[in-house]
Amino acid sequence: METLMALLIGVLFAVGVFLVLSKNLLKIILGTSILAHGTHLLILTMGGLKKGMPPLLLKGEDLSYTDPLPQALILTAIVINFAVTAFLLVLVYRIYQDLGADNIEQLRGTADE
Protein backbone atom coordinates (compact mmCIF):
# COMPACT_ATOMS: atom_id res chain seq x y z
CA MET A 1 0.00 0.00 0.00
CA GLU A 2 2.79 2.44 0.93
CA THR A 3 4.61 1.72 -2.33
CA LEU A 4 1.49 2.44 -4.31
CA MET A 5 1.00 5.69 -2.42
CA ALA A 6 4.62 6.64 -3.02
CA LEU A 7 4.13 6.15 -6.75
CA LEU A 8 0.94 8.20 -6.70
CA ILE A 9 2.64 11.00 -4.78
CA GLY A 10 5.48 10.93 -7.29
CA VAL A 11 3.05 11.26 -10.18
CA LEU A 12 1.22 14.11 -8.44
CA PHE A 13 4.48 15.95 -7.84
CA ALA A 14 5.59 15.45 -11.44
CA VAL A 15 2.30 16.80 -12.75
CA GLY A 16 2.36 19.67 -10.25
CA VAL A 17 5.88 20.72 -11.13
CA PHE A 18 5.10 20.50 -14.86
CA LEU A 19 2.05 22.74 -14.42
CA VAL A 20 3.84 25.24 -12.18
CA LEU A 21 6.53 25.62 -14.81
CA SER A 22 4.03 26.48 -17.55
CA LYS A 23 3.28 30.07 -18.47
CA ASN A 24 -0.48 30.14 -18.19
CA LEU A 25 -1.45 31.61 -14.81
CA LEU A 26 -4.42 29.28 -14.31
CA LYS A 27 -2.27 26.24 -15.01
CA ILE A 28 0.24 27.47 -12.46
CA ILE A 29 -2.49 27.71 -9.82
CA LEU A 30 -3.72 24.22 -10.64
CA GLY A 31 -0.13 23.09 -10.36
CA THR A 32 0.25 24.51 -6.85
CA SER A 33 -3.00 22.80 -5.86
CA ILE A 34 -1.79 19.46 -7.15
CA LEU A 35 1.55 19.89 -5.41
CA ALA A 36 -0.32 20.55 -2.18
CA HIS A 37 -2.40 17.40 -2.70
CA GLY A 38 0.77 15.41 -3.17
CA THR A 39 2.17 16.81 0.06
CA HIS A 40 -0.97 16.01 2.01
CA LEU A 41 -0.94 12.43 0.78
CA LEU A 42 2.72 12.22 1.68
CA ILE A 43 2.02 13.27 5.27
CA LEU A 44 -0.78 10.73 5.48
CA THR A 45 1.49 7.98 4.19
CA MET A 46 4.33 9.02 6.48
CA GLY A 47 2.11 8.42 9.49
CA GLY A 48 1.76 4.81 8.38
CA LEU A 49 -1.26 3.38 6.61
CA LYS A 50 -2.80 1.08 9.15
CA LYS A 51 -6.23 -0.33 9.17
CA GLY A 52 -8.11 -1.14 12.30
CA MET A 53 -8.95 0.79 15.38
CA PRO A 54 -10.01 4.41 15.53
CA PRO A 55 -7.58 6.51 17.55
CA LEU A 56 -9.25 5.90 20.89
CA LEU A 57 -7.58 4.07 23.73
CA LEU A 58 -9.96 1.59 25.28
CA LYS A 59 -9.33 -0.03 28.61
CA GLY A 60 -7.75 -3.43 28.40
CA GLU A 61 -7.03 -3.24 24.70
CA ASP A 62 -3.78 -2.14 23.16
CA LEU A 63 -4.51 -2.86 19.54
CA SER A 64 -2.64 -0.90 16.92
CA TYR A 65 -4.64 2.19 16.18
CA THR A 66 -4.45 4.73 13.44
CA ASP A 67 -2.14 7.66 14.12
CA PRO A 68 -4.44 10.69 14.41
CA LEU A 69 -1.77 13.37 14.22
CA PRO A 70 -1.10 13.29 10.44
CA GLN A 71 -4.83 13.56 9.84
CA ALA A 72 -5.05 16.60 12.07
CA LEU A 73 -2.06 18.14 10.30
CA ILE A 74 -3.56 17.53 6.89
CA LEU A 75 -6.87 19.00 7.92
CA THR A 76 -5.15 22.26 8.86
CA ALA A 77 -2.98 22.20 5.77
CA ILE A 78 -5.99 21.64 3.51
CA VAL A 79 -7.80 24.61 4.99
CA ILE A 80 -4.77 26.83 4.52
CA ASN A 81 -4.26 25.60 0.99
CA PHE A 82 -7.93 26.20 0.22
CA ALA A 83 -7.67 29.81 1.38
CA VAL A 84 -4.48 30.46 -0.52
CA THR A 85 -5.85 28.92 -3.72
CA ALA A 86 -9.00 31.01 -3.46
CA PHE A 87 -6.88 34.11 -3.01
CA LEU A 88 -4.68 33.20 -5.97
CA LEU A 89 -7.70 32.65 -8.20
CA VAL A 90 -9.12 36.04 -7.30
CA LEU A 91 -5.74 37.67 -7.82
CA VAL A 92 -5.38 36.13 -11.26
CA TYR A 93 -8.93 37.12 -12.15
CA ARG A 94 -8.17 40.72 -11.17
CA ILE A 95 -4.98 40.63 -13.19
CA TYR A 96 -6.97 39.38 -16.18
CA GLN A 97 -9.60 42.09 -15.69
CA ASP A 98 -7.21 44.99 -15.19
CA LEU A 99 -4.28 44.07 -17.38
CA GLY A 100 -5.89 41.64 -19.81
CA ALA A 101 -3.13 39.16 -19.12
CA ASP A 102 -3.51 35.47 -18.40
CA ASN A 103 0.07 34.62 -19.16
CA ILE A 104 3.17 35.25 -17.12
CA GLU A 105 5.01 36.60 -20.19
CA GLN A 106 2.45 39.35 -20.67
CA LEU A 107 3.07 40.60 -17.16
CA ARG A 108 6.58 41.69 -18.02
CA GLY A 109 6.96 45.39 -17.25
CA THR A 110 8.91 48.08 -19.00
CA ALA A 111 12.18 49.40 -17.66
CA ASP A 112 10.89 52.85 -16.68
CA GLU A 113 7.74 51.85 -14.88
Partner 1 sequence: MNNLVILPMIIPLLTGIILVIFRRNIPFQRWISLFAILSTAAAAIYLLQMISRYGIQVLEIGGWEAPYGIVLVADMFAGLLILTTSIVSAGCLLFAIATVDLEREKFYFYPFMLFLVTGVNGSFLTGDLFNLFVCFEVMLISSYVLISFGGTKVQFRESIKYVLINVISSTLFLLGIGYLYAVTGTLNMAHLSVLIAETGQSSLLTTVAILFLVVFSLKSALFLYFWLPGAYSAPPTAVAAIFGALLTKVGIYALFRVFTLIFYHHPEITHLLLAVMAALTMLLGGIGAVSQWDIRKIIAYNVIIAVGFIVSGLAVFTSTAMVGAIYYLIHDIIVKGLLFLLGGVMIGIAGTSKLKEMSGLIRNHPLLGWMFFIAVLALAGIPPLSGFAGKVLMTRGILEAEFYWLAAIGLLSSLMVLYSVMKIFVSGFWGPTYLRSEQEKGTTSGLLFPCMFLTAVSVGLGLGVEGIHYYVEYAANGLMNPDIYIKAVLKGS
Q: What is the dihedral of CA 62, 69, 56, 3, to 10 degrees?
A: -60
Q: Which of residues 7, 58, 75, 99 is near partner 1 by CB under 8 A?
A: 99
Which DSSP helix (H) or strand (E) runs through 68?
helix 68-99
Q: Which of residues 8, 30, 53, 95 is near partner 1 by CB under 8 A?
A: 95
CA distance 77 to 79: 5
Q: Which of residues 5, 26, 47, 103 is near partner 1 by CB under 8 A?
A: 47
> Site for partner 1 (CB under 8 A): how many residues?
33
Minimal distance in Å, beta carbon 68 to partner 1?
Answer: 11
CA distance 46 to 40: 10
**Using rule CB under 8 A, residue 49 touches partner 1:** no
Cβ–Cβ < 8 Å for 5, 13: no
**Using rule CB under 8 A, residue 105 touches partner 1:** no
Considering only residues 57-86, where is the footprint of partner 1 by CB under 8 A? 69-70, 73, 76-77, 80, 83-84
